[in-house]
Every structure is written in C-alpha cells, then in structure tokens.
Structure 1
Amino acid sequence: MALREQPIAERPAGPEARRARLLELLQAADRPLTGAELARRLGASRQLIVQDIAVLRAAGVEILATPRGYLLPRARPAHRTLVAVRHTPEQTEDELTLLVDLGVEVVDVIVEHPIYGELRGSLHVASREDVRQFMEAVRRTGARLLSELTEGLHLHTLEARSPELLERAREALRQRGYLVE
C-alpha cells in the first residue's frame, strides 16, 4: 500500500501571505513540523522557510525549533521544575525514557559554558516515540550532546500535570544516580 502524499498547498502570493500560512500550519499542527515538510506544503524551499521562521521570530512570534521540527508553544502545565543531572552520553536514552514513562516532559537541556554562558537546547520530549526520534537523530547526525561540554553535568526543565509526578521523577533520577543534589 502506497503512502498518500500530503498535497502541495497553493503557493501563497508574497512573503507576508506565506508567513501567515506558515503560522496557520504551525497553529493547526499536533506535532512538530520539519522545515522540509513546511517547504513542501507551502511550495517553497527549505531555506526560505528557515528565513521566514527567523523573520517571524524577529517580529516577536515565539516559534520553538526542536530536533523533530518547528512548533508553537502550547499552554504550559501548572507544574514545572528544574533538575540538575549528570550522566554519560550512553545513559541519555535511559534518562529520557525514565522521565517520559513517569508522565514528565523534558522541555530542554541547559549547560553552563565558560565562554558563552548558558546554552539551552529545546527538546520537548514527552513520549517514548519522541525519545526514539531524538536518539535516532543523534546517531544519524553524529552530533554531540550539550552535556558532553560539561562532563555530563546539565539541567533539564521538566513539566508535568502535577507536582507529585515531578517529585516521582526527581526520586527516580536520584535512584538511578543521575540527580545532582
């Protein structure tokens, strides 16, 4: 059975119309959309989409770039915390899976760089499938993790539906030896 291709949208007339349509696509999306997918749907090049994203951001639109694509921030859950952790690159998948299995979203990764100060990478990993895709991207690209800059020490912003879930996540990280206290 052949996969159905998403039809290419009519090419919007002009950059303002294209950017408006780009925002509509992001608002309607229930998952991150890649630059290539947005380009195909808007009948534009990926480079033009990247430029449009930059222009929209400069105009004050908050657009998140994750390893899986672009998305607009959604209403944040009421419960959020920051945890300090340390582990090897080989333990990354275990750490992320542990957290998402507890119902916690890993929003980002933060490291303190001696030259640049705080470096933050947007993750938005909330399911095993998100973890799988993230780890596959790491393997496919050969990219190094931010935590490798700091001998494994990094912070994560975590979000959950309740403070109990965040406390359970903290305890699970502690039991695995990842939590830095």
Structure 2
Amino acid sequence: MKKKQRQNDIIKTLRSSQEPVSGTALSEIFKVSRQSIVSDIALLKAAHYNIISTNKGYVIVDPPPKEKVFKVYHSHEEIGDELYTIIDAGGFVKDVFIIHDLYGKIQVNLLLATRADVDKFVTGLEEKKTSPLMKLTGKVHFHTVEAASEGILLAVEKSLQEKGYLIAGQ
C-alpha cells in the first residue's frame, strides 16, 4: 500500500472509530511499523488534519464544515468551468438552486468534490440533453458550497469573482 493511500485510510479509520485508535492498532491494521504510523500522523497534522494524541490513542476532531451560498451567472458552455473553479479553490459543491417567480425555490443536490465529479455531471447534462436549472431564470442560480475553513470560502468567492461568474450583493 502506498504511503498516501495509507494516510487517507488512517483518516477514514479515525473518523469511523467511536474511540481513540492506538498507534499499535493502526500499525497492525496497515501492516507497517509503529514508527511509520507516527510519521504518517505527523504528516497528516502538518496537512492540517486535527488529530489529537491521547493516552489511549489517536482521535480526529473534524470541525463542522463552513458553508456559503454564492449567486452566480454564466452561459451553458461555462458550467464545467464554473464548477471546476469552485472545486479547484477547495470547495465542495453541495447543491444548485434557483428562485423561480412561480414555483419558488427549486433545489437539487449535486455533491461535487472532484473534477471527475464535475466531468460526470457535465457529461450527464450533454448525454441526456437535459437543461440546467439556470435556464429557467435567465442563467441566474445559486450554489451552496462547503469548505473546511472560511479562508477556502473566501478563495472560492475570489475565484468566481475573477472569472466574472459571481453576482455581487448576494
């Protein structure tokens, strides 16, 4: 198992455990030395994972994600680029919604975390010849974006603004 994959699996193991997981237990699970686990934990902490070492083992404390709604406008052809812009800045695209004059709020979960997710979504629109919700409101729509920090949400906002997708005065 590659080191990066093991680190991702360590995070998953810690998140799924209801109690601290000892370094010895992790070394047995991943069939590496205890020292390799200590090194992995140090690297994960340096990567801003909030891992706490207790006398009974390691615990990960995930703060609740931050969330912001962005009001955006762009052409049909720019859908992929707009979503890439959010993902590349570190955001998670939770949904898309519009406010329709007659029907009110129409909302659809997107759950896009990677470029591959975006590609699949855009391909689905094309293959199924489906119109995006923004077509109902003259291209104006909203995305709820989640991120690990306010800083990431600010980076998303700045990137959307630089590309001319963001509508000011949300």
Bin for the TM-score computed over the shorter chain: 0.5 to 0.7
Counterparts in 2 of 1:138 and 1:171: CA distance versus 1, 3 Å: same
Deviations 1:38-78 (A, max 9, x none): xxxxxxxxxxxxxxxxxxxxxxxxxxxxxxxxxxxxx9943
Question: Is residue 99 from structure 1 mapped to residue 92 from structure 2 by the alignment?
Answer: no
- Give the superposed CA RMSD: 1.4
Task: Decide which of 132, 148, 162 is 2:149's aligned counterpart.
Answer: 162
Question: Is residue 83 from structure 1 mapped to residue 70 from structure 2 by the alignment?
Answer: yes
Q: For 2:63 and 2:94, how far apart are their aligned partners in 1?
A: 10
Q: For 1:110 and 1:77, how far apart are their aligned partners in 2?
A: 22
Corresponding residue for residue 29 of structure 1? none
Counterparts in 2 of 1:100 and 1:118: CA distance versus 1, 3 Å: same
Q: For 1:94 and 1:78, how far apart are their aligned partners in 2?
A: 24
Q: For 2:163 and 2:74, how far apart are their aligned partners in 1?
A: 10
Check whether the contact 1:86–1:153 (CA below 8 A) recurs between aligned residues. Answer: yes
Partner amino acid, structure 1, of 2:149: S
Structure exhibiting the larger radius of gyration computed from Cα positions: 2
Q: For 1:115 and 1:124, how far apart are their aligned partners in 2?
A: 26
Partner amino acid, structure 2, of 1:126: A
Residues paired across the two proteins, number: 107
Q: Secondary structure at the match of 2:146?
A: strand
Task: Kindly report structure 1 stretches of 4+ aligned residues shifted beyond 3 Å.
Answer: none
Q: Structure 1 residue 110: deviation in Å?
A: 0.9
Q: What 5-or-longer segments of structure 2 have no aligned partner? A: 1-61
Q: Secondary structure at the match of 2:122?
A: helix
Q: Secondary structure at the match of 1:179?
A: coil
Q: For 1:118 and 1:76, how far apart are their aligned partners in 2?
A: 29
Q: What 5-or-longer segments of structure 1 have no aligned partner? A: 1-74
Corresponding residue for residue 138 of structure 1? 125
Superposed counterparts of 1:106-125, under 5 Å: 106-125=93-112
Counterparts in 2 of 1:91 and 1:116: CA distance versus 1, 3 Å: same
Deviations 1:16-54 (A, max 9, x none): xxxxxxxxxxxxxxxxxxxxxxxxxxxxxxxxxxxxxxx
Q: For 2:137 and 2:111, how far apart are their aligned partners in 1?
A: 21
Counterparts in 2 of 1:171 and 1:118: CA distance versus 1, 3 Å: same
Counterparts in 2 of 1:119 and 1:166: CA distance versus 1, 3 Å: same
Partner amino acid, structure 2, of 1:86: Y
Q: TM-score, normalised by structure 1?
A: 0.57
Q: For 1:76 and 1:83, how far apart are their aligned partners in 2?
A: 22
Q: For 1:157 and 1:108, how far apart are their aligned partners in 2?
A: 5
